[in-house]
Amino acid sequence: VEFLMRLVRRVVRKHAPLLLARGIRCRFLGVSDPRIPRALAQDFEDVAVLTAENRGMTLTVAFDHGGRRDIVEAARSLILSGTPADEVTERLFADHLPFPDTPDVDLVVRTSGEQRISNFMLWQVAYAEWVFPEVLWPDFRAPDFLACLHTYRHRDRRFGGVPARTNGDPS
């Protein structure tokens, strides 16, 4: 684990100037966990501050992220703000999640054929489409990604609604 943490630090430090130069804002989900070495957490914070004003693209890195923790923190935030229970809406709740400007997830690619959420952005994946390619993450390449996009493109996205009927077919 210590080796992996050092490796992540190296990658973060190496790519920070590239993110800044390319106008990419970088944010980190889940880095408040005390198990993360303080130096690594500081590197994450430094990159986030360095790139905070960039608007070209946003890269959100989920590192030791927990969707349940996000939901609990949003609930705590609402309670601490004194919001009456009858005024809580989905939109207001979402506004109390980390990075409330993050759009809902459209597509989740879960490599290795695993078919589980794994506590990942639980609120934001409510209406996501899921693709489960059998290929392992280290072997995942552009053609695999294109196949996932092809699958996504042919989905009937209903966002919780009733399936669209076609050609007068009532079934």
Please enumerate in sequence order all residues whose Cβ is within 8 A of that of 87, keeping only pairs 6 or more positions apart, or say none.
none
pLDDT of residue 163: 61
pLDDT of residue 149: 96
pLDDT of residue 33: 73
What is the C-alpha separation between 24 and 38, in angstroms, rounded? 24
pLDDT of residue 30: 82
pLDDT of residue 32: 73
pLDDT of residue 162: 65
Q: What is the pLDDT along the chain (171 residues), one digit of tens a residue?
A: 888 888 889 999 999 999 999 999 999 988 777 788 899 999 999 999 999 999 999 998 888 889 999 999 999 999 999 999 999 999 999 999 999 998 898 999 999 989 998 898 999 999 999 999 999 988 999 999 999 999 999 998 888 776 654 444 444
Domains of the chain, residue spans? 17-65, 66-102, 104-156
- Three-state DSSP class for 62? strand
For 42-103, the three-class secondary structure string (H helix, E strand, C coil) is: HHHHHHHHHHCCCCCEEEEEECCCCHHHHHHHHHHHHHHCCCCHHHCCHHHHHHCCCCCCCC
pLDDT of residue 31: 78
What is the C-alpha separation between 78 and 156, in angstroms, rounded? 35
